[in-house]
Chains A and B, each alone.
Chain A
Amino acid sequence: MTSEQKPEVRINDFAFKLANVNGTGSASANGLLMQAIFRMGIPVSGKNLFPSNIQGLPTWYEVRVNKLGRTARTSEYDLMVMMNAETYAADIREVRSGGYILYDSTWPLNKALEREGVHFIGVPLARMCAETFADPRERTLMKNIIYVGVLAALLHIDMDVVKGMLEEKFKKKPALMQSNQKAIWLGYDYAIKNLEHPLPFRLEKMDATKDCILIDGNTATALGAVYAGATVAGWYPITPSTSVLDAFKVFCERYRVDKETGKKKFCIIQAEDELGAVGMVIGAGWAGARAFTSTSGPGISLMSELVGLAYYAEIPAVIVDVQRVGPSTGMPTRTQQGDIMMCAYNSHGDTKHICLYPANPEECFAFSVKSFDLAERFQTPVFMLTDLDIGMNDWVVPRFKWDDNYKPDRGRVLTREEIEALPVYYRYSPADELGVAARTLPGTHPKGAFFTRGSGHNKLGGYTEVPAQYMEVVDRLAEKHRASRDHVPAPIIEKRPGSTFGVLTVGGCDLACREALALLEEQGYKGDFCRVRGFPFNEEVETFLEEHSQVIVVEQNRDAQLRALLVLETRCPKEKLQSILAYGGFPLQASQVVDGVRAKVRLNKKEG
């Protein structure tokens, strides 16, 4: 099947999807593809759409290449690489009209699967493998590498780059190196000899990623915790946050082991559950360490009890929530922003928390550090909310930088000498202009001892059941939370002259929203952009809301949680706020925002 017209050539602007079986080694092959494109200097993103399973179920990997850096997820696939017969039917349906389908032609494709208007490319991958490799495991693994070779020919992936990557990867494993090299050239040569190449959409070297790295958000978060000086981590394994602690451990082992003694300057405790994990963080924070935990929604549900204790007793704690799809177990390997409300008001009684919302790994690194500063400055739990897409997928972001002049903000902690000089010490008095009172660390000085309690206490820290004394303390906590609004990261605001509406969003919706606004502008819809990065909302957010008569809030949950939080916590009348909600579990696409805005915004070209 070939289409009638000669298709236009598109350089560095396309998307392809790889349909695999999980546990077959496809992940490393797909990572290789993405990394090669990144090293060619081209903006690229990879989205791993994987099942909650170890081996045998369908899994997909999507790659989007875009010279303008528009790398939000797209489901407009120009090419489908079908490596899983079980999902052939659905995969064929998903390719855009005029697109290409690469399949393993060792076995003929069922006639019933044929589709008009798309190009089928058969490569006998299994047969090539069987003829080349003897070991059954190798036959499975190398099939993936062969299709990388085929794609290199079809998409113009630089083979020198690929070769270099394989050499780095298998430096210490010459046998593996040999089979990988063999497989990749096998695929490449086959394509050159037998297939029409390159495809009309293809790659060309650019210079857009020179100062960038390819990193996932969880690694970045962990690195931030190391740089912030976190020494204690309590955690419980949970998808999609586990790799935060995995990475923290790797970095600590690298940077925090005393060369002479072999002793470790960190303590990671795998807890019995998330309640235990956050309990450890709170205990460590109380004792004076920078401590954190990382979890996902179900873990936050468990932690809620002790989060209230840390809030009320004013103990610093950093809690990273790599959000996944809820409610309940939900879809553990899918992404969502469903914990916005739960984190903002986590725990029973009147509680409000500082929340940070990074949008990408670069911000994960920076906000991770910031979280510790805020937790100690305000003596309170701080939530950093990322999501599965940010946390587990590789992103192209600018190289992280570190300022060696950074001093951790430990907040108000009295030294031995300061305590000595006091006539008497009270834990919760006097408070400063932020509503924060000085704390002492256990063991510092006899005069600094105090009794920490989650039960009713007065401003001196003593037990109370007296209404006025109780209220005085919780009112100060509310003030303290309000005061933190000028200390959380400010929103990112991008304005367009003549705009008629605003799009307000959060976290991982960033790229899709900005791409959508650019596309909408071409269609005559001019909108401003605001991405909130912290809660409580500061004056800049209020101003953005005031400046626009129509604000469309884009977020990835069913219940418009960010919108609800804005309604509750800003002066904005709720009628002004409309929602675009994407909550199926895959990362947001620009097309979803474009369609949503077009349905809500009245086009007035004269004004525009």
Chain B
Amino acid sequence: MPLLSVRNLDVCYGVISALQEVSLEINRGEIVTLIGSNGAGKTTLLRTISALVRPRRGAIFFNDVEITRLAPHEIVRRGVCHVPEGRQIFANLTVHENLLLGGYQERDANRIRASLDRCFSLFPVLAERREQRAGTLSGGEQQMLAIGRALMSKPQLLLLDEPSLGLAPLIVRKIFQIIREINAEGTTVFLVEQNAHMALTVAHRAYVLQTGRVIKSDVASNLLQDPEVKKAYLGG
């Protein structure tokens, strides 16, 4: 039984079709990546899973329960947490408040403290910046905050939208290292990336999205060798 199953999803923005008959599955414990060029519909897929966008057709199942018609906060409660593109941290709130918001649904003070501690051990820099306004952090620190904030709700499935966007190569490597660690600790990861090489290196399996359709899916290491993928997404 897959953890997340997307079945024949169609999404439109007005008359413009963004996703067509997209189906994919993510198994517990995996890192699955979705690669594709700008405008292929990667972000739309994540936003549909999180219920920020309503599909026209198709269904989404999580743990074999349909979640297609739920509100965004109910999706979070079921254990799916989305780190949106561009991080979307609460810039005028402190780092600490941002993290507390990540654990908004948890009311037990002890568990909140445990999540905070775990987050600070993953990202020691956030502990140093705890009382600072989140808007004053560097890009890399903001990305760490966004991931740490998502982990506060102890999700079963973490949706990551372009975590490497606008970051220096060294920071990107560090972020991917952390994604591996998070996965090793038992969180399933669905990673959307334009940095296809990095994404395929870290992922177990991958889907390729082109103008709203899944055109390929395979084990990540196979796709790294695939001539078409190499040509289109890996720079030759």
A and B: partners?
A: no
**Interface residues, chain B, with chain A CB atoms under 8 Å away:** none
**Interface residues, chain A, with chain B CB atoms under 8 Å away:** none
